Amino acid sequence: MSPNNANLAARLAKQIEASGSISVADFMQAANQAYYAKGDPLGVNGDFITAPEISQMFGELIGLWLTDIWMRAGCPEDCKYVELGPGRGTLAADAMRSMQQFNFAPEVLFVETSEALREMQAQAVANATFLDTVDDIPYDAPLLIVANEFFDALPVRQLVSTHSGWRERVVVRDRGTKFMATPGMTAMDEIVPSEFRNAPSPSIYETCPAASSIMYELAGRIAANGGAMLIADYGYTLPGIGSTLQAVRAHEYADPFENPGMHDLTAHVNFVELANLARMRDLRVSGPVEQGSWLKALGIDARTQALSASRPEQADELAAGRDRLVEATGMGSLFKILAISHAEWPDPEGFAVNQSLG
């Protein structure tokens, strides 16, 4: 255990000792902050791998999607590229390359909390401006916003049904040695939507207040000044019951409550909630569709062939990357793409109505 993680475990243990428990949301928030502060978790030798790290085609096609909607919107000059949680900066670098072919070189804003990852992102994309939170994004220009595997890292709140009603799910110390989740003391029935209130004990109802408030902020900016947002993540397209909290370390699942800060904690994204928040601001909602069908609609097969023709020695690698992004055996079905755009902006590409889920 690194000194930082030992400190975090001790700090959380002390907090629990003082107040009896902390919520799952507070635990997840503290654990992920420490985890991302440590540095680069991505890649084959890291804890997990993401679409832009699998193939350059992912970021390139997103760059083309952004260029296309920007051009059809009349090429607004002050449009900014915003990325939430850019990881190594790979997606942005690949997207910029394809955008620059069309002389589209917007100002780049990165919303990133980890200093260590900011350093990598600055290497990948020169001249990026770093922001601590979405609240710092200016309110005076159209925005093209990208979020790949960002929302899943935000802390979820969990409510659990017990024989005496719904309770906050909290983290305690099991016999003083081990972190463990358990129902808290305060009644929480009011917060659970009526359709789930009679779910049998123990059921878990999850919400992500952090995701909702970020979406609300961004939707407000797009409604005011135009623009579009693309969200790629794993998540659900119908509201449901059950814990989706998971921990991944070195590509293996782990106990989310053990060793806080040592592994990536994620939860499934509630696409229904994100879409509803955008609708409240009269924005257009496209999707969610499966990542595989979206990438195919954007021409990933033609791109694979073109790249393979110019670099035959990489043809196998390119085909394997394409398959992993597109096929159901890889990320193709599990990952979804949701787009949000200003109602007066053109219809975004890749979202044929009959493919929409949920």
- Which residues form the interface with ligand SAH (CB under 6 A)? 32, 36, 42, 50, 52-53, 85-87, 91, 111-114, 117, 148-150, 153
- CB neighbourhood size of 329 (10 A): 9
Q: Min. distance of Cβ 270 from ligand SAH in angstroms?
A: 17
Q: Are 22 and 11 in contact (CB under 8 A)?
A: no
Is residue 276 helix, strand or coil?
A: helix
| Cβ nearer to ligand SAH, comparing 53 with 168 | 53
The per-residue b/e assignment along 50-78, b for 16 or more CB within 10 angstroms, e otherwise, is bbbbbbbbbbbbbbbbbbbbbeebeebee
Among 338, 337, 341, which Cα is nearest to 326's? 337
Kindly give the pairing relationship between strand 157-162 and strand 107-111: unpaired
**Residue whose beta carbon is closest to ligand SAH:** 85
Q: How far is the CB of 154 from ligand SAH (least distance, A)?
A: 6
On the CB side of 243, CA atoms within 13 Å amount to 21
In the complex, least distance from residue 117 CB atom to ligand SAH, rounded to whole angstroms: 5
Minimum distance, C-beta of residue 53 to ligand SAH, in the bound complex (Å): 6
Closest by CA to 94, choosing from 131, 126, 55, 130, is 55
Q: How far is the CB of 112 from ligand SAH (least distance, A)?
A: 5
Residue closer to ligand SAH (CB basis): 13 or 116 = 116
- Rounded Cα distance, 247 and 11, in Å: 20
Question: Which of 335, 338, 352, 280 lies closest to 52, judged by CA?
Answer: 335
Report cis status (omega within 30 of 0) of the bond before 202.
yes
**Least gap, CB of 58 to ligand SAH (angstroms):** 9
Q: In angstroms, what is the minimal distance from the CB of 52 to ligand SAH?
A: 5
